[in-house]
A and B are shown apart, each in its own frame.
Chain A
C-alpha cells in the first residue's frame, strides 16, 4: 500500500472531541434514493452543527461564513455528491463522512473507493487546485463548462476554497495489486 498526500491534509484525529460519522452504502439504494440521502444527511449535519454555533462570535472573513446553516449543508452535500459520483461501483466499502468540531475550526473527512483508472486524472485536478490561483481556476472552469459537458463540473471543490475559504487536503491509499484506491478528502473551515 502506498500513501500519497496532497494539499493541507490533516489526519482524522481520535482525540476527545465532539464528532459525528455517517456511513452510506450506495449500492443498497437506487441513484435517485442515494442522491436524496445526500441532501438529507447534509441537512442533518447542518442542523446538528448549528446548535454549537448559536451565540458564538464569527471569527472569519470568509465570503460565506460557516456559521450560516447553508454553509455546512453546502460543504457536506458537495462532499457526499462527489463521493457518490466517483465511488468505485464494485466497492463494498461504506462511503463515510465524519466531522469534528474544535474551538476554532471544523474538519470534515470523507472516505470512499475510486476506480484506479481515474487516479491520474484526479491527481492532475488536485495539482491544479494546489498550484494555480483558485479564483482564476474557478472562473476558468465556469467558462470551460459553459461550452463543454463533462462528468462533474469541478466547481464544488473550487467553490469551497473561493466562497467558503476552506482549506482542502487529500489522501490516496493506492494498493499494490489491482484493487480500488481509497480516497479521503479533508475540508477544514475556520469558525
Chain B
C-alpha cells in the first residue's frame, strides 16, 4: 500500500511490518492528510506483529502533519494491542523532538534513534 507524489511517499510494507515516510509533507488541513491517516490506521488494523514507523527520510513535516501522526498514535494507544516502534536519525533535532513528543503521548512507543 503506497501513496506517492512528487513531494512525498508513504509506503506500508506488510511483509516487512514497516511504514516508510519519505520527502516533505506540507499538505493543507486534515482533509488533505486523510488518505495518509487512513493508510496508517489500515496498517495498524492489519498488523499482528510489531509495526515500525520509519521517518528517517522524512525531510519536513508541518503542524497539520504533526497532527496526523499524533491522531494515529492516540488511535494505536487506545487499541492497546499493537507494539509500535519509531525510527529516526539521532542527529536530526526535529526528528528527535517529534518522536519524543509521540512517545510522551504513548509511553510504550519504542524509539530507535540512529
Mark A residues whose CB is within 8 Å of B.
Answer: 31, 35, 38-39, 63-65, 68, 70-71, 73-74, 77-78, 81, 139, 142-143, 145-147, 149, 151, 153, 155-156, 159, 163
Contacts and interface: CB of A to CB of B under 8 A. Distances in A.
Interface in B63-90: 63-64, 66-67, 70-71, 74-75
A73 B70 contact: no
Contacts of B28: 31, 35, 81
B65 to A, nearest CB: 10
A105 to B, nearest CB: 19
Interface of B: 24, 26, 28-30, 59-60, 62-64, 66-67, 70-71, 74-75, 92-94, 96-98, 101, 104-105
Contacts of A31: 28
A147 B30 CA distance: 12
A163 B101 CA distance: 9
B97 A39 contact: no
Contacts of B92: 68, 70
A153 B69 CA distance: 12
B74 A159 contact: no
A139 B105 CA distance: 8
Contacts of A38: 26
Most buried by B among A64, A81, A142: A142
Contacts of B70: 142, 145-146
Contacts, number: 70
A142 B77 CA distance: 13
Given A145-B67, A155-B63, A163-B94, 15 more contacts: A35-B28, A63-B93, A64-B94, A70-B93, A81-B63, A142-B67, A145-B70, A146-B71, A146-B75, A149-B30, A151-B29, A153-B66, A153-B67, A155-B66, A156-B62
Contacts of B26: 35, 38-39, 77
A149 B70 CA distance: 13
A68 B98 CA distance: 15
A74 B66 CA distance: 12
18 contacts: A35-B28, A64-B94, A64-B97, A70-B60, A70-B93, A71-B93, A73-B60, A74-B62, A81-B62, A139-B105, A142-B105, A145-B70, A149-B30, A153-B64, A155-B63, A156-B63, A163-B94, A163-B97
Contacts of A146: 70-71, 74-75
A39 B23 CA distance: 13
A127 to B, nearest CB: 20
B30 A153 contact: yes
Nearest to A39: B26
B94 A74 contact: yes
A152 to B, nearest CB: 8
